[in-house]
Each structure stands twice: as C-alpha cells, then as structure tokens.
Amino acid sequence: MYETLRTEGAIGRDELQSALAVSSKSLGLALDELSDLRMVKESSPGDGIVALPASAALRQLLVEQREQLKDYSRQLLHRVDAVERLLADYTFLPAGEQAELRMTVITERAEIGRFFDDLAELTTSTVESMHPGPLPDAEQLAASLDRDRRLLDRGVTLRSLYPASFFAATRLRRYFQSAVEIGTELRLCAHVPTDLLIVDRELVLLPLDPANPGSGICVLRGGPLVQAGLAFFEHCWHQAHLLDAEHQGPVVNGPGEQQTALLRLLADGVKDDRIARVLGISPRTLSRLISELLVDLQAKSRFEAGVKAVQLGWLAP
C-alpha cells in the first residue's frame, strides 16, 4: 500500500482499494497502521491519501515519542513525590482510630507575646510550668506576678518549678516569697531540664530550641502529648523541694543535690556553658562549684571526681 501511494501520489480510498484488490476492512486497518507511523496522511476532502517520505515520517514519530516520554517522566516523578509524602506521613501510624495530634510553631517575638497574653485570659483551671533560666529581670518578674495574681483570682491552680540556684538572687527570692504568699505552689530543685508550660491539661508549650530560648515556641495539642508532658512535669515536681515556712530557703533532705546534678551533667559530657544554663548559674559560679566538688572528693581532675563519685554512691555507674 505504501509503495502504491508513493508511486501514484495522492489517491482516494476507493481507487486505492481497487488498485490493491483488498477489502474495505483490510484497507482501513492498513491505513491506520501507516497513519500511526506517520507515513501517510489524508489530505483535505477530495485530494485523497498521500504517502510521506519514510525518513521524515519516522523522524516526526521519534519527536512525538520523545515528548510523550517526557510527559510520562513528569507524571512519574509527580507520583513518586506524592507517594513519598504519604509514606512520610503515614508509615509509622498503626491501623485504627487516629488521635488528633497538632503542633504549632511561633517564632515572631510580637506574636509570641500576643499568644501568652491571650492564653492568660483563656486559662480556666490549671497551669504547670518549669523555668530553667536564664534569670528573668525585675520587669519580667513583676509582669509574671501580676499575671499569676489574675489567674489565681479566677480560681486557676498554679504550680511552678525553678532551679534552687535562683534563690541566691535577691530579686528571685523576693519573687518566690510573693508568689507563695498569693497562692502559687512553688518548688525548687537542683536541675530543671527544660522550659515547659502545660495549660488546662489541654496544651503543652516547649521551646523550639532549648539552647536558644529566643528562637520560638512549639504549641502541642492532643491527649497523648499532653499526658506525656504532664507525666514529665510530675516526675520533676516530686523530685523538688518546698520553701520553708519562713521562706528562708529550700527545704532539703541533705547536702549535695546541686553537686549531684552537676555530676550527672559532667558525666554526660555536657559543655560548661550549657551546664551553667541548665543549672541557672553564671560560668564563674559553675567554675567555683566544680572546684569545690574536686575538693570534696579529693580529686585532681573531673575524671577522677567521676570515678570517686561512683565509688561513693553519689552517681550511678
């Protein structure tokens, strides 16, 4: 058929069928196949069917196939990306009912301030908080005391946990005394691990980066997340100590609590600047505490102090 068309030039279907002596069905199938190969085309009505040069036809077919392959590749990449996103979202979720767990990140300082202001107005029952440092200034303490007073007046229960080292600062000591007097439940311990705020047992606030308190906050919602945060707070709360009746200092069962916290951090390989932040003390105070610790253990180095602390039962091996 192709050779006939190349020889005869443009020819109508009837003439082509007569020249080839084939059925109408066979003619149609052959024309369809040649058309798919871009080797024939039907001109405008009345002009008949024309055979195109094989090289040009096949070149056009290759161009079209390349374009189709590109389209398929784009679709495939899109599907792969979609599948990867689904796997990332759902691979570790078991079958069954899914709890609604949500996290919101706030980084803008002004937006964080508005969020805390709104939170103070909307809180209805409980606030549990942990404050590892750095030391707040007098203005921050005054604002905190005023906010706590408004919450307590509405019947909200407040429990706050601070490092025992804060009691050495006059402004913190006065703040603690005032907070206890207005009804805040307050405890001190040697080591407060992280900033933490639990509001109405419904949401948990954590720092976006504990090493950089100004980087922002994470607001977590969802039963399991809140329960985990609350369990962590309760553990720390029961390890802490009340203030004595005259608010002269923390009640402790024996010496060495701060030294124990310091030993744990040193044993974990935490750097000095991070230890100072965790304990809420200055680098100079940390240096003094480490020197005192070496003297108490009669050790010449931190390593030797660690060995002797384990031997004495101060630190678990």
Angle, to 10 degrees, between the axis of helix 24-36 and the axis of helix 13-20?
110
Alpha-carbon span 94 to 183, nearest angstrom: 44
Distances (CA, A) of 246 to 74, 125, 180, 254: 74, 28, 11, 19
Both tokens of residue 182?
């207005």
Please state the three-class secondary structure of 83-106 as a single string: HHHHHHHHCCCCCCCCCCCEEEEE
Say what the pLDDT of residue 254 is. Answer: 33
Say what the pLDDT of residue 224 is. Answer: 84
Both tokens of residue 315?
């630190």
Say what the pLDDT of residue 173 is. Answer: 86
Half-sphere exposure of 6 toward its Cβ, with a 13 Å CA cutoff? 8
Alpha-carbon span 163 to 148, nearest angstrom: 19
SS3 108: coil
Q: What is the pLDDT along the chain (317 residues), one digit of tens a residue?
A: 888 887 877 888 788 888 888 888 888 888 888 888 878 877 666 668 888 887 777 787 788 878 887 777 777 777 777 776 666 655 444 555 555 778 889 888 889 888 888 888 889 999 999 998 778 888 889 989 999 999 999 999 999 999 887 877 788 888 998 999 999 999 988 778 888 999 999 899 998 887 777 788 999 888 888 888 899 999 888 888 877 544 444 444 333 567 778 888 888 888 888 888 877 778 888 888 888 777 777 778 888 888 877 777 677 66
Say what the pLDDT of residue 150 is. Answer: 92
Say what the pLDDT of residue 277 is. Answer: 81
Say what the pLDDT of residue 184 is. Answer: 92
Alpha-carbon span 274 to 233, nearest angstrom: 21
